[in-house]
Chain A
């Protein structure tokens, strides 16, 4: 079977909505060569090998829409492209990515398929494709394959490149509210939520509201303590010390036991708790001072460590660490007691499915035992309680237990430090009781806290912290979106895009326009090379000053790059003239069943992404375009030069909106209502020539403006000024001079 090979002919990264689906995908053109003659049923053992190597394939519901559906297809016989698609999806799942999208479609060339899979991260997807190909070839050839190693490498790549779990939770919560996101760093957690002027930024558990000074304060434990205790938040009393002797003096002042730790140390490095003797304090000082920031001596707070998460002044989640003790029976050793009293808990285990870990005597536990005069082999007397480990891992969600006063106190602590998101470390015996009566205290206020323990607590309910963060960044009904107009079609899209941008500018909003001529911010032409593409659109959406954006997209962008935006408020399709465009590179067929790429499947993408609250602006005089009306989640506004166009009339008859021409004027129609704008002849772009294509472009632009809710004045002014060369002040003066001459209608000359 030597010649059975799969060759990747071409790989196209579609970074936005595309003909296949909304999220980014990679479209790989694969050539399966002679495997075209060997569906899976004809390759002995392939089904067995694949289902053994990738048991997860049983979850793929493909073809029969039921569990095991794909495996059934595999057994019955399917082709290599389709098999590879499922292998790649399964590999990405094994690598820790969410469930993805997959599709395989044949092309007009025999043996060549378009294989499409979700693209969560470009490098990961490409690597999965390569691994998948090797694995499939090995399975076909009945050769061994080191799947574990491949998955390990994939996982590593995901860990390094894909969003971290905290960030992913926030992004997901945003998505649920319809808030789009843009990743600003290829392998970091800096993410923009929302578009243009409505954007906010997050970086793991920091937001653009997170104050740099507050972070500085939170890193200085002593200052934090001073500030929060001054407003009545209980803290462990203590002070900074400058020598081992001073540390002991402080310990005696405060009262034993004490904690010794570095002033700005984090993550427990150099932190020593429950010190009782001068020797212990001196030893701890010597190690803590190595951290280089100064050393604190504090009252030891008795109890369990809790982590409370405050977002926007409210407690949103709380977590308790695992305090492990055993009780002596006078016969068993500590080690035995741990096994019989702790590790017997069925929730403890070594796999990911176990929420709690198996307790062993590690360094921390050994020190803890040593302090109690014990080792793992000691036999504690009957009923003696032995502490094995405190703060083992933050495993228990305890959000609902937190006493309301305590919730208030931790929120105050975050506010005093100045953090919008803070992880508060609290030590107390029982978090359901007020702190004062149990001597509990807040020991630390952390900026950029980990959210994982609240999103995925070992035991207890996951908490919607991502949602809390998003809700704190965005007002209740805000979606982080700005008015966004996408324009596509074969002809006229550049003109329409420019006109819409012109209307937005007239309305007083900062406009951004990405089109074939480049990028315009208001009237500034900041890029002069073609920007009617993904990159150009993205530039606008990443621009904080853009209050409304207009993005031009041709068929090539949809086929080769994907749209720059996930959804838009207005989607315009001017017209579709298949014969005027050479799209053979994408193997498009002017006609053809659902299995081929057609003009309809290309251009409908622009209508598919219209928001439910948005509008599609469609050419009623182009049958193919008019047909998109049924695909639109939002409202449809038709435009037609001919007021008698039947599609338009039917639409109006249904009480819907349309823009057309009547009495040589542009008119807005809504059911039976009519609003007249200016005369065609007053529109410089149309001028005396009155070419139907020019008129159609203007109607499309006006329809978009109307969809955006722009006023009649803006629309009229737009009509009368679009096409004038406004950039040249001299032209304006000339225009003004002409206007002062009565009865000479202004026309544009070109």
Chain B
């Protein structure tokens, strides 16, 4: 063994990567603007025009101001940028749409093609025929989507949408109960004695930069943590004291059974219910409602003769009755208790009910509006923000809006859509004819029932023109008519916003030039605007950078503490001290002065508005309705396994699927229980075929106890890679999902799938 002498600087320089930092290395903050809920501080280290490494938040790390550390994806930002498969040049389609045959064109030709197609579409079909696809590949302040909206709003408008693919049921439904949707901030968790995480998995999905940090602190402070999830997620493994392996789509049944226990064992916070809520019992109903419609009546089964006992819920949920009973008692007696529902439980056939049932449960125990006690759906949705705006898009002259999930309907039968479809301010004068798909993989990959979508898109008489801008040849890019190469976040200046929870904003510098002919959408949209005669109105003579500077100036004008542009480029951050924020605190403290923003001014456990809609699946109170393609659907005899599509730590939706480092860290694989695998001759690592009536895919199996029997989990976001028979070889779950929307929000029910699984490759392992 060589003796351990101190290696001199010269020797170190030989063996260490990138040499010693010092002369020639510049360190600049960058923005990582993916749709993960985190917004972290990242730096790029640049030497000789190349990013040689990254680093994260280097400000002091303290409990009152924890660093904003990036995750594995953020640390791979440069790696992603240097991927050899970057789209390099503008291209136009030759051959049939979807065949992915492209020819390189100049930017001039691309701009001309887009402008002339847009002009023709507007002339023939009107502005409501233009659709700017939902997409969150770029969450910055001056994004391609914002620029496209700005353009269209100057050209007469475009078909709008409401909801999102993330939180349709939550966003739409929570206001019926509490007036608006809100969550206690993570800083309050440390006060909780019990934290119930229902389909909430920040350890894998981030959901704000320091979510797990605060969860860990809460656990350290003595909070008991219960995870309700079909999978033993990383969140469960690290934080949970107890795991309830629930069958997907049955959350509402669980909560109803818990409500039953709380009622029958007199664990109610009756004072809270009487003071703040209507609809809980018969004596607190709004006027004009027949008797027997209260929540209590329903739970006790007084009207439908089906008391929602733990014994009733056990076979439905797959959780045994004593566990349900114990959790109910614990939830009612551990105060304050925080119930956090992730976005998974609201992304199924009756996601609306999960949301409502959760809120009601919180109200029954008085766990709302107090530090450590609350109900939260996802990340909250409040905009504490930091006063930093985005590119102004102006008002959309077209008032018609579709539910975002029904865009394929709007392509096929837009003019026939009605309010029953969730169409707002209709009718539509035209189906969708022109689609901008910018920094988005919704066109194909992230929308449900890919085989159906593909057939619709292949018909060039339906959608006449599709313009796509992206970094790679994604499944959506393959369906472009004009395909444009976009720049990445390190190749431009930008702001980055957290979802909510803290008042801060990050600033990312442009650290390298975009390669080849990659350009930001704002640039070519400006030129399209010029072609269409509204160049000045669109750009106001500003480049994208000018707009950013203006946004920064505006922020500084509204807030003297906001840094100057120079300081922003240097520090990459404006951040105020994180505060513990309690949702509905005002309403709870002073209900007279701050009534809930509902028709009754109270929390509407019973909603007359919903009741009056008079639809069988839209109920006055939260009810358990068995999901179509759920565990009680007779289809389960043909397709015996429930399938869910969790969000994967190595991707943000479909971003990073192309990345080799991410694939090495966590390869695309389907979780399946040893029981289900054994019965089918499937071994760990072997390839399996997963299919239902809508499509099929091949994926590697990960046989693990961490998913409940009867359920398989295919991480969503993998790129649709069909073979000659249309079978996806990469494991894109959306070949299996359905385009059927949820009843109230008309949202995506993408965790409602029944499948069968078979060994492929003769069932050999490895």
The answer to whether A binds B is no
Q: Which residue numbers of B lie inside 8 Å of A, CB to CB?
A: none
Q: Which residue numbers of A lie inside 8 Å of B, CB to CB?
A: none
